[in-house]
């Protein structure tokens, strides 16, 4: 949370203290039913007390998932899209290579769309698809022992597929994709019945307002019953102003609204290069975004000394901004698809200088979160995601898997000195309150259920509640060792959390 947002919450908390119980009277209860709620924004928060705060967490690096080491891949490969499809994890990405030995930068080969798959989301293979020849021939009669899935026009730069979960979707169009740049005068659409064999869907571009030379994304938004597309966008149009993100939507995947720029309340102007926006699969009423943040830096002696120094010198000679500017990963969330709560601190920092990721083109997050088994047996699954590293280096460009705990992006956090949070009035369905939390040995989480006026409900007060400590993604809250709170379902209530040296990531009422 940035300082401005924290100050606003402190003012609200102080006002609540001064005004007493009357602070709870206004507003209709928020109906959450049995959906999972996370602390990624202030949507459910009435007040914070003590030293509680919302805390951004960070993914942990794991193994190298995929190296861009084939002749049709190389140092400019990227824009990967990953999703689980039944028993198979699918990955689509651009194969591409630049020559940077002598300025200016120039393409070593044409771009192509490549494919990889996995059975566990951890170990990946590049199957020989036998669809296109490499090197390309005029009549496509060359060797086809490669994982090239599509070759064609500008869409190969940023081909972004998804599996269409719209119940009305035709089986011949179960997989769809968007791709295109200014060379195609906008974004084109594509279709596939199996995710492997693709053909054009639209005759021409369906969205023409935007810049597009980035990873544009699209999905079926079940909660809003429409397709949503997020595109590369400039705040003042025509490549002027801030690099930003625009949103377009459609009911039929054919006719699209004109993109509208996103807003980021309480966040200073920043340059967003990609967006990676999709419904969070464990709480799809909330959209998560993982933009690549573009940071322009001047040419200084300091930047000249950041590894990889020889490569940086080549890039500066070829294109100065490519050699000086930087990229890292950011996290944001939204409940309406247009206004995003953006965390100004990095979700992924470039890391130790010796690893060489302090360079424009590194730290791009792939599109898609997917669940994988934990490294040790008996532990909860993790959420996996990919970031690229080694940009511009043919011998080191690759995707690395990162992992984060389930719902572990942001937590309600308090130190040992303690902190509290009270929600706005809510209505739930279910009988059990499940918490995703972590504490120290000395820490704890306690929870009370209050009425809409903020008065403790007999039997569900803090004094009645069990003190919880440990680390679990599904811990039942209890009061006098009883879990069942079904008698309160459908009523307007508040949750009051008290934490000491603890993190609370999410909660959910279930049966």
Question: pLDDT > 70: what percent of the chain?
Answer: 95
Claim: this prediction has a pTM higher than 0.75: yes
Rounded to the nearest 5 percent, the helix, strand and coil shares of the chain are: 10, 40, 50
CA torsion 21-27-32-33 (nearest 10°) is: 90
HSE, CB side, 13 Å, CA atoms: give it for residue 170.
Answer: 9
Q: Output the average pLDDT for the chain.
A: 93
Strand duo 98-99 + 37-38: pairing: unpaired
Residue range 101-110, pLDDT digits in tens = 878 889 999 9
Domain end position, chosen among 354, 388, 405:
405
Provide the terminal-to-terminal Cα distance of the chain, rounded to the nearest Å.
Answer: 33
3-state secondary structure 79-132: EEEEEEECCEEEEEEEECCEECCCCCCEECCCCEEEEEEECCCCCEECCCCCCC
Same domain, 271 and 236: yes
Residue 474: give its domain's CATH number. 2.60.120.260
Same domain (yes/no): 49, 119: no
- Does 87 share its domain with 47? no
Are 303 and 384 in a shared domain? yes
d(CA 357, CA 388): 9
Q: What are the pLDDT digits (tens) for 460-489?
A: 999 999 999 999 999 999 999 899 999 999
Q: Are residues 353 and 424 in the same domain?
A: no
Whole-angstrom CA distances from 263 to 2, 39, 246, 331, 346 are 16, 20, 9, 14, 18
For the stretch 178-226, pLDDT in tens is 999 999 999 999 999 999 999 999 999 999 998 999 999 999 999 999 9
Q: Read off the pLDDT of residues 384-417 as tens digits, 9 standing for 90 and up.
A: 999 999 999 999 999 999 999 999 999 999 999 9
Question: Does the pLDDT at position 10 exceed 80?
Answer: no
Rounded to whole angstroms, how far apart are CA atoms 6 and 1? 6
Residues 242 and 343 in one domain: yes
> DSSP 3-state assignment of 21?
helix
Do 39 and 67 fall into the same domain? no
Are 486 and 387 in a shared domain? no
What is the pLDDT, as a whole number, of residue 193?
98
Domain coverage including residue 439: 3-57+410-510
Total domain count, the chain = 2
Match 């009549």 to its residue by tokens.
139
**pLDDT tens per residue, range 122-168:** 999 999 999 999 998 888 888 899 999 999 899 999 999 999 999 99
Query: DSSP string of 132-191?
Result: S-SS--TTS-S---S-EEE--SGGGGS-EEEE---TT--GGGSEEEEE--GGGTSBEEEE
Same domain, 380 and 331: yes
pLDDT at 17 over 80: no
Residues 38 and 114 occupy one common structural domain: no
494 vs 36: CA distance, rounded Å: 16
Two tokens at 505? 């990531």
Q: Please, which contacts does 16-20 make with residues 24 or more away whose CB atoms are closer than 8 Å?
A: 16/46, 16/47, 17/49
- Contact between 298 and 285 under an 8 Å Cβ cutoff? The reply is no
Considering the domain architecture, whether residues 390 and 470 belong to the same structural domain is answered as: no
28 and 78 both lie in a single domain: no
Q: Is the peptide bond before 248 cis (omega within 30 degrees of 0)?
A: no
- Write the burial class of residue 20 (CB in 10 Å: 0-12 exposed, 13-18 middle, 19+ buried): exposed
For tokens 């020849």, what's the residue?
Answer: 133
Q: How far is CA 459 from the centre of its chain?
A: 40
- What is the rounded radius of gyration, in angstroms, for the C-alpha atoms of the chain? 24
Please give the Cα distance from 88 to 194 (Å, whole number): 12
Identify the domain boundary among 374, 405, 436: 405
For residues 109 and 1, which has the higher predicted lDDT (pLDDT)? 109
Query: Which of 371, 405, 439 is the last residue in one of the domains?
Result: 405
- Could you tell me if 402 and 60 are in contact, meaning their C-beta atoms sit under 8 angstroms apart? yes
Residue 184: give its domain's CATH number.
2.115.10.20
């Amino acid at each position: 949370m940035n300082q401005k947002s924290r100050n606003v919450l402190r003012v609200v908390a102080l006002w609540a203290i001064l005004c007493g119980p009357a602070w709870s009277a206004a507003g209709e209860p928020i109906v959450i039913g049995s959906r999972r709620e996370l602390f990624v924004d202030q949507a459910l928060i009435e007040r914070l007390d003590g030293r509680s705060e919302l805390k951004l967490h960070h993914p942990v690096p794991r193994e190298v998932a995929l190296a861009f080491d084939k002749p049709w891949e190389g140092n400019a490969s990227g824009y990967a899209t990953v999703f689980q499809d039944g028993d198979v994890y699918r990955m689509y990405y651009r194969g591409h290579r630049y020559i940077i030995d002598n300025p200016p930068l120039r393409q070593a080969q044409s771009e192509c769309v490549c494919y990889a798959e996995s059975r566990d989301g951890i170990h990946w293979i590049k199957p020989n698809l036998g669809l296109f020849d490499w090197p390309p021939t005029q009549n496509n009669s060359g060797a086809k022992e490669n994982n090239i899935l599509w070759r064609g026009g500008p869409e190969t730069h940023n081909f972004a597929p998804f599996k269409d979960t719209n119940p009305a979707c035709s089986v011949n169009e179960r997989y769809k994709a968007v791709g295109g740049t200014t060379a195609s005068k906008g974004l084109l659409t594509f279709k596939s019945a199996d995710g492997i064999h693709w053909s054009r869907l639209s005759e021409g571009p369906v969205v023409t307002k935007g810049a597009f030379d980035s990873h544009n994304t699209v999905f079926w938004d079940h909660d809003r019953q429409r397709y949503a597309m997020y595109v590369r966008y400039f705040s003042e149009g025509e490549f002027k102003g801030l690099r930003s993100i625009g949103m377009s939507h459609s009911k039929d995947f054919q006719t699209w609204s004109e993109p509208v720029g996103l807003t980021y309340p309480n966040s200073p102007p920043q340059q967003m290069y990609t967006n990676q926006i999709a419904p969070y699969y464990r709480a799809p009423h909330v959209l998560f975004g993982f933009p690549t943040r573009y940071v322009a830096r001047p040419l200084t002696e300091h930047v000249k000394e950041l590894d990889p120094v020889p490569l940086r010198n080549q890039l500066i000679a070829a294109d100065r901004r490519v050699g000086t500017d930087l990229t890292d990963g950011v996290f944001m969330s939204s409940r309406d698809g247009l206004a995003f709560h953006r965390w100004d601190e990095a979700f992924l920092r470039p890391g130790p200088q010796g690893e060489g990721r302090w360079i424009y083109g590194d730290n791009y997050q792939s599109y898609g979160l997917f669940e994988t088994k934990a490294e040790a047996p008996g532990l909860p699954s993790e959420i996996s995601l990919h970031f690229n590293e080694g940009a511009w280096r043919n011998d080191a460009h690759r995707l690395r898997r990162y992992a984060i705990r389930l719902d572990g992006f942001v937590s309600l956090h308090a130190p040992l000195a303690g902190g509290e949070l009270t929600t706005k009035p809510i209505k739930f369905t279910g009988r059990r309150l499940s918490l995703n939390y972590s504490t120290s040995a000395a820490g704890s989480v306690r929870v009370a259920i209050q009425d809409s006026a903020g008065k403790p409900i007999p039997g569900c007060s803090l004094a009645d509640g069990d003190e919880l400590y440990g680390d679990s993604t599904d811990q039942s809250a209890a009061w006098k060792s009883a879990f069942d709170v079904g008698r309160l379902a459908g009523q307007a209530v508040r949750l009051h959390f008290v934490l000491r040296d603890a993190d609370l990531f999410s909660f959910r009422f279930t049966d």
